[in-house]
Chain A
């Protein structure tokens, strides 16, 4: 284990973070319309959302990735390894976050809606001023633990050649015929990245809880 090995693995971190953040952002945004469909008044939309969520979540991430990269990417569209990884993980994330959003919506007492309507608050204000702040509080803990899970799942991008942490570790270990230290270092990096995510989440949750503890 020398400094060069260490640096090579270190050089994977930007890609690991990029895939995690990219997939999470995509999922967080796509999860909103998916959740809206899931709780829609229209039966068809609800059914469609349920099926989309079921399909997205039932198929393992690596199968989605290969489907995109080797399937669609090789024949129909030009999809690079990074794009495929972000899209595959992002799609699965959208399904999971849609369900987290839905749980949060359910957790808001019906009285909050009734009071808002009885006060005659405009729609956008009910959403922006009343619902979103309360939803964020409920969503944040589950969403951050999901994000930490996603960070670890981002390692599957190594299978299509994205030079992130797991790929670099694998590369170094093959070259130097040593696995233990190399993968231990990679593992340590994953821990180091997830610690600040958890810390920020705990801090914000604490602040919000102190304000509106029930």
Chain B
């Protein structure tokens, strides 16, 4: 992963550097490269809290008894076998799938399964959470620039000129300034996913949700997306990443959560969870993915 950093260096100066500076030595180096400011230790606020979350489709239980907290600036990787409910959990967080049990608090908005979310709550929630999908979901009839620019104009009310300027800067940072006037079909999968990341970032989210962002990409193209995500993490963005990329989970994320059959198997600091899983099921899963 380290060589990735050089391959595709990007920075996100829009992000609060205070958040980033508390994470650790590696990132302190990167965000402080041109500054001599001493890193401040700040209290990291809780940005996501999930209590006793459950989700059923009809009689089929997909998630049960999920508890989770994420602090500002943290990167949480959610791993586990297919069908374990990882993606559903992520989709509950921005209410693409409303949960059927439990409470979600995200960026101060509390959603209880017992009462339907109001339009305002949904707006605030989705404003705070940016999402990146496995299948990119760029708008095929809009150019790359328009893909990043239009949501800013419609959602935040930015002028076209302002939104375009910001979009170009973001595209520059994900290494795709030269693609601005192309249509998404003319871009590789890895490029499309980086555009999707820029599109979500353009709305200034407080937290980014990644739903298997590299699963639809061949390994090489996946790397360029992971490099962008790593830079984003180092710049202090709070991220929840559902992934099959074990190396990313181990090295970039602070914490790892292993899920199976709709439940949390283990959760904790990434190094300890990845190297020393406690449950039999988690051991089996990690062994299986490592031996691939």
A114→B96 contact, CB < 8 A:
yes
Binary contact track B165-181/A, C-beta < 8 Å → 1, others 0 = 00000000000000000
Q: Is A129 an interface residue (CB 8 A)?
A: yes
B183→A119 contact, CB < 8 A:
no
B133→A115 contact, CB < 8 A:
yes
A119→B133 contact, CB < 8 A:
no
Q: Which residues of A contact B150 (CB under 8 A)?
A: 129
Cross-chain contact of B141 among A109, A117, A134 (Cβ < 8 A) = A134
Cross-chain contact of A120 among B127, B135, B136, B139 (Cβ < 8 A) = B127
Q: Which residues of A contact B131 (CB under 8 A)?
A: 115, 118
Chain A count of residues within 8 A CB distance of the other chain: 22
A119→B140 contact, CB < 8 A:
no
Chain B count of residues within 8 A CB distance of the other chain: 26
- A158 to B139: give the CA distance in the assembly, Å: 47
- Complex A-B: 18 CB contacts under 8 Å: A109-B135, A109-B137, A111-B137, A114-B96, A117-B96, A118-B94, A118-B130, A119-B126, A119-B203, A120-B123, A120-B155, A121-B151, A121-B154, A122-B154, A129-B150, A130-B139, A134-B139, A211-B141
Cross-chain contact of A213 among B136, B185, B200 (Cβ < 8 A) = B185
Q: Is B230 an interface residue (CB 8 A)?
A: no
Q: Which residues of A contact B137 (CB under 8 A)?
A: 109, 111-112, 114-115
A211→B135 contact, CB < 8 A:
no
Q: Which residues of B contact A120 (CB under 8 A)?
A: 123, 126-127, 151, 155, 203
Binary contact track A77-118/B, C-beta < 8 Å → 1, others 0 = 000000000000000000000000000000001011011011
Q: Is B55 an interface residue (CB 8 A)?
A: no
- A114 to B183: give the CA distance in the assembly, Å: 20
Q: Is B199 an interface residue (CB 8 A)?
A: yes
Q: Which residues of A contact B141 (CB under 8 A)?
A: 133-134, 137, 208, 211-212
A119→B200 contact, CB < 8 A:
yes
